[in-house]
Amino acid sequence: MTYRNGRILGVMTLICIVCAVQARHHRNLGDLGFAMDEIEQSYVETVDRQKLYRAAMNGMLDSLDEHSGYIPPDDFRSFRSQLDQEFGGLGIMIEPRPDNDPIRIFTVLFDSPAFKAGVLAGDVIEKIDNHNAIGMPTDRATRLLRGAPGTEVTLTVRRDDSDELIKIKIRRAIIETESVTGDRRLPDGRWEFMMQANPKLAYLRIEIFGEKTTAELRSALATIRKQAEGVIIDLRDNAGGLLPTATDICDMFLEDGVIVSTAGRNGNFESTRTATPGVDLPDSIPMVVIVNGLSASASEVTAACLQDRHRATIIGERTFGKGSVQNVIELEGGNAALRLTSAHYYPPSGKNIHKRAKAKDSDEWGVTPDENLVVSLDDEQKKAVYERLRDRGNPRSKRDRDQPVESSNADANSQSLFDRDPSLVNDPQLVRAIEFLMDSK
């Protein structure tokens, strides 16, 4: 056999192997399409082909981990708008709840259509237009509340547990949501980040790691940098968001060194993000990060990094334990998506964050508060903390907290924390964070 003929034979062999592999893949796809056709045409009852397609997608992804999944069009729009921090709607957030519980408004965004129409935090929604909202699933209520800017919706609400029902007509608009909030909202809508309980300390709560969170946090830090003697970052109930946002935030507090590493299939490390020179808050200002069992994903990246690099002290409860990274792959022309776990992340210490399906409490997972700084809450305390946050974010609140604190004229030791801010009695985790920073001076 000549050299030329040998090369031709080698190329043809390679082509045959590739074709065989592709044929096997196409045969599986063909069988799936054939099964869908047979079901659609021959099943005893009429079947929606789109429902078959979604069931097939869900069936495939259900065989993977709990964080991989198919995101259908309705859910994908909500998913994207949450991370983009922008959507067409009223400007309200509803409380997380079991589907059979009343739909209660947690926050009314300042100057939003709902705010201007007189909707109040704490209102219970009885009807959305003509739809009975009692027992309505949260995702359906959210879809009915959102809509194209300029369209109208009528809410029927019950206020202060009274029997009177109030009808409020609201015109939807483009809503830009906040992801960084402060100690209390002032009547003019601004957030006050210096604490009412101690005007030498700053409080910043991060609700989600979205597209605008980095800029929001940087702006907040700029307002408190010169007066804060300590900073509290509250990541409780923060389920995560964008990994690049979490690493950008860590970079604000670190001059150099590892922030997080990701490892893909077979544990091979794919990338390591390191800090860049320059910080938004001097190292001389101590920080505390508060976490709980619902702090997950990007929240855990941030807490673990700042703990491992000795830049912040962690207070609260062990975190959720989601140490996996998901790629979002758009489908159906960008109207739906595949959420696929592609890697696990590891903080600078290299310890495991991810909680496996059969993990025990004694196993290593999540981010654990620093020594002697575990503060657990019972169900009643958790509810009280939630109500406190709702009240502090309401610019119409009648509590004595509406004026900004001038730290230069305030003696933080002249009164107790509870004299300055009586609502703290409902938040022992935050109290412990304040006391820790006061003791560290």
Catalytic residue (one of 237, 248, 251, 308): 308
Angle value at C-alpha 117, between 403 and 95, nearest 5 degrees: 75
Q: Determine whether 180 is exposed, middle or buried from the number of CB atoms within 10 Å of its CB (0-12, 13-18, 19+).
A: buried
Catalytic residue (one of 200, 212, 322, 355): 322
Query: How far are the Cα atoms of 77, 138, 198 from residue 406, in angstroms, in the given order?
Result: 43, 42, 11
User: What CA dihedral angle connects 391, 126, 72 and 46, to 10 degrees?
Assistant: 170
Alpha carbon distance, N-terminus to C-terminus of the chain: 85
Residues in the chain: 441
> Active-site residue 322, yes or no?
yes
Pull the structure tokens for residue 47. Answer: 């079947």
Question: In sequence order, what E strands does 114-200 have?
Answer: 124-128, 131-132, 152-158, 165-171, 173-176, 180-181, 184-185, 191-192
> Active-site residue 308, yes or no?
yes
> Active-site residue 297, yes or no?
yes
Catalytic residue (one of 68, 297, 397, 407): 297
Tell me the C-alpha distance between 271 and 291, whole Å.
26
Tell me the C-alpha distance between 345 and 273, whole Å.
11
Provide CB contacts within 8 A for 392, sequence distance 6+: 183, 184, 185, 401, 423
Which residue numbers are catalytic? 297, 308, 322
